[in-house]
Amino acid sequence: MQPNASERDPYNGLTSLHPTLPPAAYWDAEAYRRDLDAIWYRSWLMVCRESDIAEPLAFRTVRIASQEIVVLRDETGALRAFHNTCRHRGSQLFQESAGRLKARLLTCPYHAWSYSLRGDLVRVPSKSLPEGFDKADYPLYRVALSLWRGFVFINLAEEPEDSAESSFDRGSGDLSNWPLETLVTGHRLTKVMNCNWKIFWENFNECLHCPGVHKDLSRLVPIYGRGLMARHDDPEWARHADNDAPEFSGRLRVGAETWSKDGHVHGPVFPGLTPAERAAGQTYATSLPSMFIVGHVDYMRTVRLAPLGPEQTELTAEWLFAPDALGKTDIDNIVAFGTQVLEEDAAICEVNQKGLRSMRHEAGVLMPEEYDLRRFHDWVRERHAALKTPSADSAR
């Protein structure tokens, strides 16, 4: 997704025939449940920024398909995550989507069982307790939490592997020169897309649609206007190997500096970027299945996904700025451009979804430019296969 491959890299495109996933993978209830079990309920998922829960006793609730999770900052400043479910008879604990606790206890609204902010059951108001009942046996259902550069990730697996950092795609760009930890949210957009979550990622993974769907973006990033994402997507790339014109290099059009309506920056730029990072125009990092982040010279943008159903996905985009830049930047010019691109993508994803119900459509076929869809499909297939054979690793 980023044009930073070395000149020696071979052609990126697919040269053999690959079918897509079967269409039922995008609308069937059972296929959706398998996606949840194999992927969403055992991956590191970005849920918010650390700064969204900045103060002790602040909390947020987040929904991942049918699962509701509360993320809070305890009195010591540590972040914790729990299922939003009481251990007594399963009542929901928090009804609000965000707020601040009034006490250092979580008290269930139903029969007032109370839990410490570490999740331990500390108070049961019954007059007497049944024989054998031990409060230590009924802590809140704890959820694994991992921090990555100012972002909070959770994992619904009881014993997840690795950490949020390990969830980033190995092809991700290096964002270490962007001061991600300190950035603040300048604008947030939340949208429900009527498509399966995989449709969004497929669309993200190719630019074959760019000339038709993103006219303005294709003018800003001329290689996109050729239906390509990077120099090595062109079978003829070697003929243009030394040509640094934007339509070959993947840089922004001549004179443009960032992704905004007019292509210009409207406030301070990040001081720590290298000349190559400033010239690149956009640097992407992806953590499947929940988010991608893109760095520009003056701001960063994240897109977070959460499945709502087989054919419904919630998208939350945030535009992140340096705190001192926010007051000095005309963010409208920036937000308008990114919103347009996202709306164009969401609309075409919904169109894709609608066509997948044909009884005659057994599978689609990938074109060479869709090499990253093949990687994505392989990743989905591997995750499903791993769920079917949980002991495969230990048996080896």
Structure-block tokens of residue 158: 């009881």
Q: How far is the CB of 112 from ligand FES (least distance, A)?
A: 6
Choose which of 94, 113, 151, 299 interacts with ligand FES (CB under 6 A).
113
Which residue type occupies 231? R
Q: How far is the CB of 209 from Fe ion (least distance, A)?
A: 6
Residue count of the chain:
396
Given ligand FES, Fe ion, none, residue 110, with its beta carbon under 5 to 8 Å by kind, binds: ligand FES
How many residues at the interface with Fe ion, by CB under 5 A? Answer: 1
* 67 touches ligand FES (CB under 6 A): no
Q: Which stretch binds ligand FES (CB under 6 A): 1-9, 85-93, 171-179, 206-214?
A: 85-93
Q: Which stretch binds ligand FES (CB under 6 A): 27-35, 47-55, 109-117, 371-379?
A: 109-117
Structure-block tokens of residue 392: 């495969």
Distance CA 20, CA 199 (A): 11
Distance CA 268, CA 109 (A): 48
Nearest to Fe ion of 84, 203 (CB atom): 203
Q: List the interface residues with Fe ion, window 339-358 (CB under 5 A).
A: 345
Q: Which stretch binds ligand FES (CB under 6 A): 30-38, 103-111, 324-332, 368-376?
A: 103-111
Given ligand FES, Fe ion, none, residue 46, with its beta carbon under 5 to 8 Å by kind, binds: none
Structure-block tokens of residue 53: 């829960």
* 247 touches Fe ion (CB under 5 A): no
* 261 touches ligand FES (CB under 6 A): no
Distance CA 265, CA 335 (A): 12
DSSP state, 237? Answer: G
b/e per residue, 364-390, with b = 16+ CB within 10 A?
A: bebeebbbbbbebbeebeebbeeeeee
CA-to-CA dists, residue 80 to 140, 154, 246, 297, angstroms:
11, 9, 46, 33
How many residues at the interface with ligand FES, by CB under 6 A? Answer: 9
* 111 touches ligand FES (CB under 6 A): yes
Instruction: Point out which residues pair with 263 in neighbouring strands.
Output: none
* 133 touches ligand FES (CB under 6 A): no
* 89 touches ligand FES (CB under 6 A): yes
Q: Which SS3 state, helix, strand or coil, does residue 176 take? A: coil
* 91 touches ligand FES (CB under 6 A): yes
Distance CA 45, CA 318 (A): 16
Q: Which of these, 266, 303, 308, 263, lies nearest to 281 by C-alpha position?
A: 263
Q: How far is the CB of 341 from Fe ion (least distance, A)?
A: 7
Q: Which stretch binds ligand FES (CB under 6 A): 25-33, 71-79, 111-119, 291-299?
A: 111-119
Residue 310 class from Cβ within 10 Å (0-12 exposed, 13-18 middle, 19+ buried)? Answer: buried
Choose which of 88, 240, 261, 264 interacts with ligand FES (CB under 6 A).
88
Choose which of 81, 86, 291, 341 interacts with ligand FES (CB under 6 A).
86
Q: How far is the CB of 139 from ligand FES (least distance, A)?
A: 13
Q: Which of these, 74, 70, 80, lies nearest to 55 by C-alpha position?
A: 74
Q: Which SS3 state, helix, strand or coil, does residue 391 take? A: coil
Q: Which stretch binds ligand FES (CB under 6 A): 36-44, 96-104, 107-115, 137-145?
A: 107-115
Where does this chain bind Fe ion (CB under 5 A)?
A: 345
- Residues making contact with ligand FES (CB under 6 A): 86, 88-89, 91, 108, 110-113
